Amino acid sequence: MEYKKVVRAIMANRKLRLPQQLNAIKQNVSAGQYKLALKTNPLFNKFLHKTPYFSDIKQIYIKEPFSFTGDLKKEFKWLSDNLENYLEEINDFILLKNEFEGYILLCDYEKAANVVVKVEGLYGVTLWSIDANLILEEHLNGSEANWNKLSYYLGEIKNSIYEFIINSNSKRAEKKLEYESYINQFQNDIDNVHANDIIKDFFVFKNFNLANYEYRFDRLESVLYVANIFSVIDQYLILIDVILYNTALDDSNDRLFSPYIKKLINVVPNDHKILNLYNVTNRDNKFVKIENSKDIIQCSNYYYSGDFTKAFELSDAGIDLFPNNFEYYIIYSKSLLNQQLDFVPKKTSPLIVDVLRNTYNLLSFKNGAKDSFDNLLKTSLSHMNTSFGKQIYGLLSEIEGQTGIHFKLAILNAPTNSYKAPYFGENRPQIFKNFIEMSKEHSFKICSFKLNNEVELEADFTRSKAQELSLNATREYKKECFGEVVKILTETNVLDENSYYYERKNGLLFNSYLHLNLIREALLLFGTIQFNDKIITRKLSFFDLYEKIFDTKTKDEFIDLIELPILYSLLVKEYDLYEVYDDFMCSYDIFHIQELDVEDFINKFSLEKTIHFLSKVVTIDTIKYSTDYDSINDVEEDRVSVLNILIDINPTEKLNYQKEIDEIYRINAVRKVLKEVDEGRLFIDVDNLKELQIKKFKSEFQRFKEIEHSGSLQALIGFNPSNTKNWENILTEKNVTEDKYNSADYLAFKNIYLESRNNFLYSKEYGLDSSLSTRIRHGALKNHIRSVFEKLELVTSKSHGIYQDNELWKNQLLNYPELNIEVQNKLKDFSNEIDEYCVFIVEKMIQIQTEKNNDIEEGLFQYNTNDKILYAFYTDNKERLNSVEAIIDIILTDLVNYTILSLQKTIAKAFSEIIPKEFQDLIKNIILELRELNLPNECELIPNLTSSSTEIQKELEYLSEWFNLNTTNSSSLLSLETILNASIELTNKINPNYNLTPNIVIEQELLGYSSLIFVFNILLNNVIQHSKLDNDKIKLEITVAKDSTEEYSIIKFTNNLKLNVDYKSNKSKLERIKENWNDHSNIERSNKEGESGYDKIKRILLYEAHAKSDKFDFEINKKEISISLYFPYTEPSIDEEDTNN
Amino acid sequence: MKKILIIEDDKIKIERLKDFFKKDDITLKESFKSGVKELKDNFSNYDFLILDMTIPLWEKGHNDLGGNYEQFGGEKVLREMNRRKLLLPTILFTMFDVFPTKDGNITFDEIDTIFKKQFPNFYMGAVLYISNEDNWKNNITNLISQID
């Protein structure tokens, strides 16, 4: 009487209100005494039974589930006790439910609808009736009506649990939504709702219990707990499903459920599942006959006696009479297949015919019937909450060699007694006594025999030799006499003649080989199965074979089999595949793919296997691990050779192979362009600069020469602006400047030098600063550096001036909300530090410094000079300064040499020491701070920061190569498509959160220089920045075409825009750009950061790409924007000699 | 003076190792390719190998557009050594105390245990490098003393 004490204590606590008192009872009273405890106060039951049904949709509310006990017994008793008052009504409901399911199978939706109306009239609105209504809408009025109905429900029932379930119901009902799509959508939904474990278990169980999903509460106490919130109808359906699940899993809760099931067999006899549960679980050797079982047993008996004609006749009639018994469908199909007969369609409902046809096709295992599995999966999903759906899924599990939970659930869901009951015998020996009445039935005996139970079977138990062999082999397999299985199955070819048995034979043989560790035999059989294009095999786990091989110490016994790398190619890739590929090749003394004799391979291994080997094993990703290759280009060359061999030996796939070759060439071309671009980022056109300066300094040179000549007679002094001025002391102190620096000839030279240097550095056409600005500073450098951290999810971008939270870490720290806040704050600081330092690098370090602007102290490009240096330079070269060409050549050569020799050392040092150190410090600091927070093990933040430490070094090392000065333009003309591809590749690389995949339409083939890549980069970055769209929303099209007048070639970028964003300012900017397109007076602005990218485009087109565009246009509306660059089109001149040839 | 092969690409770690082994004769390789090639050609010339876990596949400038980073490049080197019987005593030298994989994280200790089991003939153990600590020096010395 312990409960009395507990209840008394609860009642004595005046702070507890009624629901709290009930909760305390649920938590503290033992499960077996709930009923007694609740009787102590009539208010308890009054509260609990306030609303058993929701009379209409508006009445639906979340009934009180109280607190979760985490105890299966308590949750089961709490729920089942509360249902006891309603069992008779539930029994009546089950009758109507069965009626509804029958009408659905017969596609009689009107009658089915009437049943649902009746159910809702009697028992109100339930999850069951909502599901039924959605199914009916889908079938009667189509998916749109289903969605409208869903929308109605969602509008009326504003509760997340209902919403989730109803949404899933609607999707399951959708005829066109494939099984895979449902799984994906469901998984997305479950991931996104971030439900707690209890609710998550419930959602999965209620909406997708076909999956082999790992439940956190594996006995589903969580599901029972959530069930409390629904109407009693739903509570019952969920309760029985949970009992069925547990019973199919094992016998550990039979004692808990048995008394309740025993009670139900008398009160809810309409539910056949209860009767099956009782027959399997009771320990009283009791058996309840289920109506109409005799017919299916008789039909099964005929089938297992090998009388397939009779079995077919009975199953044919059985389907008409009992369409909800899927066992008839199986025997119908197998009887036809045993007689090697084609499918015979029945005159019945389209749904039944469809299921029957798919069952026949599935069991035929013919390659042409691959869809049947998916079709049946879809049907089982649509009927997931019915016994019929569960029976179908049971067959699908069996086909895949799984006779576990879903297979057993199918037996428990059968509407009749099942001869397959012996499958429960392993854990429940009592069932053979329970089923004593059925044990004389032939099909029951055969099932027992298969499962290696003691059973007396006549010698000629079947007329079918194939059936006999198959059953004997199955029994031996169950006995674990795998050698015997191999003997039975390899002694004769009888099973090879019928695809139904051939599939079984292969399954048993393959798994026996695995058990016997006969890997060579298993691999050979794998090869036979894999390349048999007529048969599908589902029971084989090639992964098991792979694992067996993986665990084998030596592969010597089978390393010469081509099946080995072929098997691996189905399951692994990259180095894992390379290992066996290399071992296999070495076993034939082939040390390089070029040594392969294809004819010999085909003779040795067959054409099909050679084709698979060459196409799927000898790929770039595999062979790249060979140390024979020094670069990826060599790997690609060999892959192209392999693809050419494939074109010869497998011409039907020529298009695909050619496509891969084209893709390799495309990637190769893109790589070359990117290499050329990187190597030539810092480009000073010295030849043009020379030409320009020779013209420009002609008169100055003459002046210099004149001064030099007169100076040789009498020293001329000039004004040297470089002299240090000390205006305060100038009147009292003697000017200490050496006279030689004021010599007129030196000053004349100095003028030429300084101006020449100025051109070298700042010429808008050919100077260094232009290169720095357009190719390095303009986004590129910062984006490259930032991309390292972005890729590893270590920095976020700003929104309205504030760094956003990082979603990845937020999800990984979902269970640690306070820790997450600290981590996010630290990452925001880190983002800010990285960004600030990037800005510092670009704005302060990648700058030119001369004595004129030595305010930029950190500028790496230091071209400072002074009289001492310059005078020494002057005197060293004075003798050679005898022509304008010579003087310009000497000055420019000196500047180039200085840039290449001295400056590049400084830059290399900056990029290998100074800048990396700063980043290392930033990374080290945040790691130290994060370590103090003791992040949970599953959080990958610190490993990612550690990776960034090496990654940033690599990136900086790569970036330092951008500063290798190029003085000759060796760029070749490339196809515009290649340049566009390279530009997209580069843009995506430096924007890891975006992956632009534009549709490129080339209507006119054009050629251009690689520097056009910078033009396209600016346009692509504009798309990312100005469209304000997320990565997956950007739709970009790039067209290259002639305009209608044929005067111009047009390159047009068109992309969509974010709705409801004001683009007025963009429009007015573009108008100004259009208006001033041919005005190049402001082009020097292009060297300043933050100025329009279009000035940079103009400069690149004019001076670097030699592709001056004299027209610019744009269109902008609410939905999209397009930018067009116009290039004057000239017809290619025809070389007469070529034409003549 | 020992002859040591180092397969490592992190500049800072390289400098620290060079300093630590300054009295020894060291050969540095910075990628899977160059490392395995050197092992294939000359493994018997070395006393032991110091191996990083995350190394690039290719030498600089020879890689594909898709990147050059092999998260478990060190493990692949060990597998090549095992397969080709290049049984040179090897010390794993890494700065990761956790290795993220698609099946969840593996800790430094776990990976050390796995490798000891998988490559018992030549794998000596792992040493964790933490930039602001010097414990790694003692740990490496201990492992080297076992080789002797």
Query: What does A65-90 look like in DSSP terms, one character per residue?
Result: -------HHHHHHHHHHHHGGGHHHH
Whether the predicted pLDDT of A642 surpasses 90? yes
Average pLDDT, chain B: 90
Which residue of A lies nearest to B79 if distances are taken between CA atoms?
Answer: A579
A627 closest CB neighbour out of B36, B95, B104: B36
pLDDT digits (tens, 9 = 90+) for A544-571: 999 999 989 889 999 999 999 999 999 9
Q: How far is A425 from chain B (nearest CA, A)?
A: 37
Local confidence band at A192 (pLDDT 50, 70, 90 cut-offs): low
pLDDT digits (tens, 9 = 90+) for A781-823: 888 898 899 989 999 888 888 898 998 899 888 888 889 999 9
Mutation for B interface: A950, A958, A961, most B CBs within 10 A: A950
Contacts of A651 (CB under 8 A, 6+ apart): none
The pLDDT assigned to A1135 comes to 42
Average pLDDT, chain A: 88
Question: Hey, what's the torsion of the CAs at B144, B145, B147, B148, to 10 degrees?
Answer: 130
When mean pLDDT is compared over A144-148, A586-590, A683-687, A1025-1029, the highest value belongs to: A586-590
A984 chain-B contacts, CB cut-off 8 A:
none
Give which of A79, A116, A122 is closest to A101, Cα–Cα.
A116
Whether the predicted pLDDT of A968 surpasses 80? no
Alpha carbons A140 and B109: distance in angstroms, whole number: 62
Whether the predicted pLDDT of A1124 surpasses 60? yes
Which residue of B lies nearest to A669 if distances are taken between CA atoms?
Answer: B65
The answer to whether the CB atoms of A630 and B96 lie below 8 A apart is no
The pLDDT assigned to A711 comes to 52
Q: What is the DSSP string of B111-128?
A: HHHHHHHH-TTTEEEEEE
B65 closest CB neighbour out of A624, A671, A912: A671
Q: How far is A582 from chain B (nearest CA, A)?
A: 10
Using a CB–CB cutoff of 8 Å, tell me whether A632 touches chain B. Answer: yes
What does each C-alpha distance from A949 to A492, A930, B58, B64 come to in angstroms?
65, 15, 19, 22
The answer to whether the CB atoms of A937 and B105 lie below 8 A apart is yes
What's the average model confidence in pLDDT over A947-965? 85
What's the average model confidence in pLDDT over A737-746? 66
Using a CB–CB cutoff of 8 Å, tell me whether A401 touches chain B. Answer: no
Alpha carbons A595 and A371: distance in angstroms, whole number: 42
What's the average model confidence in pLDDT over A647-651? 96
Give which of A1063, A1038, A1059, A1035 is closest to A1050, Cα–Cα.
A1038
What's the average model confidence in pLDDT over A361-382? 90
Q: How far is A627 from chain B (nearest CA, A)?
A: 6
The answer to whether the CB atoms of B100 and A944 lie below 8 A apart is yes
pLDDT higher for A321 or A214?
A321
What's the average model confidence in pLDDT over B19-29? 95
Alpha carbons A282 and A124: distance in angstroms, whole number: 34
A937 chain-B contacts, CB cut-off 8 A:
98, 105, 107
Which residue of A lies nearest to B100 if distances are taken between CA atoms?
Answer: A940
Alpha carbons A308 and A464: distance in angstroms, whole number: 9
A667 chain-B contacts, CB cut-off 8 A:
64-65
The pLDDT assigned to A1085 comes to 57
| Location of structure tokens 């290998």 | A912
The answer to whether the CB atoms of A916 and B11 lie below 8 A apart is yes
Local confidence band at A970 (pLDDT 50, 70, 90 cut-offs): low
Lowest mean pLDDT among A19-28, A291-300, B98-107: B98-107
Which residue of B lies nearest to A923 if distances are taken between CA atoms?
Answer: B131
Long-range contacts of A808-811 (CB under 8 A, 24+ apart): A809/A939, A809/A941
A575 closest CB neighbour out of B76, B98, B105: B76
The answer to whether the CB atoms of A949 and B12 lie below 8 A apart is yes
Lowest mean pLDDT among A522-526, A988-992, A1070-1074: A988-992
pLDDT digits (tens, 9 = 90+) for B101-117: 877 788 899 999 999 99
A940 closest CB neighbour out of B10, B12, B105: B105
For chain A positions 895-934, those within 8 Å of chain B (CB to CB) are 912, 916, 920, 924, 928
Alpha carbons A770 and A784: distance in angstroms, whole number: 19
The answer to whether the CB atoms of B131 and A924 lie below 8 A apart is yes
The answer to whether the CB atoms of A579 and B79 lie below 8 A apart is yes
Which residue of B lies nearest to A580 if distances are taken between CA atoms?
Answer: B83
- At CB < 8 Å, which residues of chain B contact A? 9-12, 32-33, 36-37, 40, 54, 56-60, 62-65, 69, 76, 79, 83, 95-100, 104-105, 107, 131-132
B96 chain-A contacts, CB cut-off 8 A:
943, 946-947
Mutation for B interface: A577, A634, A946, most B CBs within 10 A: A946
Residue pairs spanning A and B at CB distance below 8 A: 76
Alpha carbons A416 and A294: distance in angstroms, whole number: 9
What's the average model confidence in pLDDT over B81-91? 95
pLDDT higher for A896 or A308?
A308
A591 chain-B contacts, CB cut-off 8 A:
none
3-state secondary structure A659-703: HHHHHHHHHHHHHHHHHHHHHCCEECCHHHHHHHHHHHCHHHHHH
A920 chain-B contacts, CB cut-off 8 A:
12, 131
pLDDT digits (tens, 9 = 90+) for A820-840: 999 999 999 999 999 999 989
B105 closest CB neighbour out of A916, A924, A938: A938
Encode A563-591: b = buried (16+ Cβ within 10 Å), e = exposed: bbbbbbbeebeebbbbbbbbbbbeebebe
The answer to whether the CB atoms of A950 and B37 lie below 8 A apart is no
B100 closest CB neighbour out of A582, A912, A940: A940
pLDDT digits (tens, 9 = 90+) for A471-527: 999 999 999 999 999 999 999 999 998 999 999 999 999 999 999 999 999 999 999
Whether the predicted pLDDT of A232 surpasses 90? yes
Local confidence band at A1139 (pLDDT 50, 70, 90 cut-offs): very low
Which residue of A lies nearest to B34 if distances are taken between CA atoms?
Answer: A627
Q: How far is A338 from chain B (nearest CA, A)?
A: 45
Whether the predicted pLDDT of A1097 surpasses 90? no
Q: How far is A626 from chain B (nearest CA, A)?
A: 8
The answer to whether the CB atoms of A630 and B69 lie below 8 A apart is no
pLDDT digits (tens, 9 = 90+) for A873-898: 888 888 888 888 888 888 888 888 88
Contacts of B114 (CB under 8 A, 6+ apart): B106
Using a CB–CB cutoff of 8 Å, tell me whether A808 touches chain B. Answer: no
Look at residue A627 and give its three-state secondary structure.
Answer: coil
Percent of chain A past pLDDT 70, that is, above it, reads: 93
For chain A positions 168-207, those within 8 Å of chain B (CB to CB) are none
3-state secondary structure A220-283: CHHHHHHHCCCCHHHHHHHHHHHHHHHHHHCCCCHHHHHHHHHHHHHHCCCCHHHHHHHHHHCC
A946 closest CB neighbour out of B57, B79, B95: B95
B9 closest CB neighbour out of A667, A920, A950: A950
Contacts of A46 (CB under 8 A, 6+ apart): none
The pLDDT assigned to B71 comes to 80
Contacts of A329 (CB under 8 A, 6+ apart): A315, A319, A355, A356, A359
Q: How far is B9 from chain A (nearest CA, A)?
A: 8
B12 chain-A contacts, CB cut-off 8 A:
916, 920, 949, 953
- Rounded to a whole number of angstroms, the CA Rg of chain B reads 14
Q: How far is A961 from chain B (nearest CA, A)?
A: 11
Q: How far is A186 from chain B (nearest CA, A)?
A: 22
A987 chain-B contacts, CB cut-off 8 A:
none
Using a CB–CB cutoff of 8 Å, tell me whether A608 touches chain B. Answer: no
Alpha carbons A934 and A929: distance in angstroms, whole number: 10
The answer to whether the CB atoms of B64 and A632 lie below 8 A apart is yes
3-state helix, strand, coil in chain B (%, to 5): 40, 25, 35
What's the average model confidence in pLDDT over A570-586? 95
The pLDDT assigned to A721 comes to 46
When mean pLDDT is compared over A186-190, A222-226, A1086-1090, the highest value belongs to: A222-226
